[in-house]
Amino acid sequence: MNFHKFFSALAPLFFVASVAAQQPSLDAQVDRGSGSLIEIYKRLHAQPELSHREEKTAAFFAGELRALGYSVAERIGKYERSDWVGYGVVGVMKNGPGATVLLRTELDALPVEEKTGLAYASKVTTKNDAGQDVDVMHACGHDLHMTSLLGTARELANLKSQWSGTLVIIGQPAEETIDGARAMLRDGLYTRFPKPDFVIALHDYPEFAAGTVGYIPGYALASSTSVDIKVRGIGGHGSKPDGAKDPVVLAAQIILALQTIVSRENSPLDPAVVTVGSIHGGTRPNIIPDEVNLQLTVRAYKEEVRQRILASIERISKGIAVAAGIPDDRAPVVKVSETEVTTATYNDPALTERLKQVFVNTLGSENVLKATPIMGSEDFGYLSLDHQIPTTMFWLGAGDPEKLKQARETGAQLPSLHSALFAPLAEPALRTGVKATTAAVLELLKKP
């Protein structure tokens, strides 16, 4: 018998057996630590902080990373507004030669009054950037993301013998205002700290059952751009419209005309959204005001589509004003926000497919679902540096399987992200998030 050929043929089987032997160990480790993660999750959920105000959340996150042996830096982030403090956190663990993987979570919560009735529901109130009193809630699951990432950080610290390379963990502030990622990059995220070869994040997804994950190769989330239109007219008495130029009517015409951008100017093969979410003007029924203010959100995947939509908004707004006889010096003012804007999230197809197989091996094929792109937005895409760094965001199932089944059967709507009633099924979701992310890093940083 040729023993060299015999053992060469057996080598793949030994490798499979080795992987299988490691898997129960990871499962057991994660299961043992799930109780402490639930306590962390409840604490974070009950103590949310708004964007640009994540001081206590960031300090807690940084302290947990330090306790696990990570080198930690705090207050990372330079905003356009100099009076905002950056509460970004960066934890680094170097473990020999190899690639660098960055894992990201968000720190901030939303100005929403929680109505879940949970024992650990948020009762926090604070002032927003405008100085108004608002309630605060983790209605988007960032508390789940933080807890999952801390669990992953713990597992990878315990499994240092099984990987080689550098792990960078960031707690990113101000995702909800979509300026936190840029603030951290502006403050040297990729120059003061190891620049990643891969970037990974997860986001909870209430339409998938807890215990599952979803993946999307290519475009996953749209870009988002806020646009303000100041529609200017000539005010007057409501009984004498012929002596005025009514900006309310003008605004109504503009709103209707803007709907033709997507329906008649954009290719149906390039998804896009133009929504007028706010209209304000006037003080009394018998007064024609001087101006009406519109606030829009524009969503698209491709940058050229976004730019074409923005140009159309300006052309239509000013063209309708000309048709209404508005003087040039009273033309609508279209302002595209420079801060409330974010790029599309594009999941590197090769990295996404590679991790999909890892998820299948870790969780079972029945728990790994191919998801469809949505027009929601994130600032995660900035971390790819315009697709220079392979990045991927995967969905973490957070829905109650029984409630999802009932909803499918009855057609009932379950609470979505940003809802005052949003309550993910945290315990199985956390274990799944930790297992999936830990396995992904072990794949990308496996020893040669």
- In this predicted structure, the answer to whether residue 16 has a pLDDT above a threshold of 70 is no
Report DSSP state, residue 138: -
SS3 359: helix
What pLDDT was estimated at residue 423? 97
pLDDT digit string, tens, across residues 427-439: 999 999 999 999 9
Pairing of strands 391-399, 100-106: unpaired
What pLDDT was estimated at residue 21? 45
Tokens found for residue 92: 């680094």
Nearest Cα neighbor of 49 from 105, 89, 135, 108 is 108
Q: Write the single-letter amino acid at 60.
A: F
SS3 22: helix
CB 376 within 8 A of CB 222: yes
CB 125 within 8 A of CB 134: yes
- In this predicted structure, the answer to whether residue 262 has a pLDDT above a threshold of 50 is yes
The b/e string for 396-420 (b: 16+ C-beta within 10 A; e otherwise) is bbbbbeeebeeeeeeeeeebebebe
Tokens found for residue 72: 């930690």
Q: How distant is the alpha carbon of residue 374 from its chain centre?
A: 12
Q: Check residues 174 and 81 and name the one with the higher pLDDT.
A: 174
pLDDT digit string, tens, across residues 146-156: 999 999 999 99
Domain boundaries for CATH 3.30.70.360 within the chain: 224-341
Phi-psi region of 398 (alpha: psi -120 to 50; beta: other; left: phi over 0): alpha
For 224-341, the fitting CATH number among 3.40.50.720, 3.40.718.10, 3.30.43.10, 3.30.70.360 is 3.30.70.360
Please give the mean pLDDT across all residues of the chain. 94
Tokens found for residue 118: 């949970």
Tokens found for residue 114: 């929680």
- In this predicted structure, the answer to whether residue 238 has a pLDDT above a threshold of 60 is yes
Q: Write the single-letter amino acid at 36.
A: S
Domain boundaries for CATH 3.40.630.10 within the chain: 25-221+344-444
- In this predicted structure, the answer to whether residue 143 has a pLDDT above a threshold of 80 is yes
- In this predicted structure, the answer to whether residue 26 has a pLDDT above a threshold of 90 is no
- In this predicted structure, the answer to whether residue 107 has a pLDDT above a threshold of 50 is yes
Place of tokens 């923005």: 310
- The DSSP string of 28-67 is HHHHHHHHHHHHHHHHHHHS--BTT--HHHHHHHHHHHHH
Mean pLDDT of 45-65: 98
How far, in Å, CA of 281 to CA of 291, rounded? Answer: 6
Mean pLDDT of 313-342: 96
What pLDDT was estimated at residue 28? 81
Nearest Cα neighbor of 371 from 356, 389, 351, 354 is 356
Which residues, in sequence order, are CB contacts of 175 under 8 Å at separation 6+?
A: 51, 106, 107, 108, 142, 181, 378, 379, 380
pLDDT digit string, tens, across residues 163-221: 999 999 999 999 999 999 999 999 999 999 999 999 999 999 999 999 999 999 999 99
What pLDDT was estimated at residue 339? 86
Which residues, in sequence order, are CB contacts of 61 under 8 Å at separation 6+?
A: 89, 105, 107, 146, 150, 171
How far, in Å, CA of 300 to CA of 371, rounded? Answer: 18
Banded model confidence at residue 23, pLDDT cuts 50, 70, 90: low
CB 222 within 8 A of CB 344: yes
For 25-221+344-444, the fitting CATH number among 3.30.70.3270, 3.10.620.30, 3.40.630.10, 2.40.50.140 is 3.40.630.10
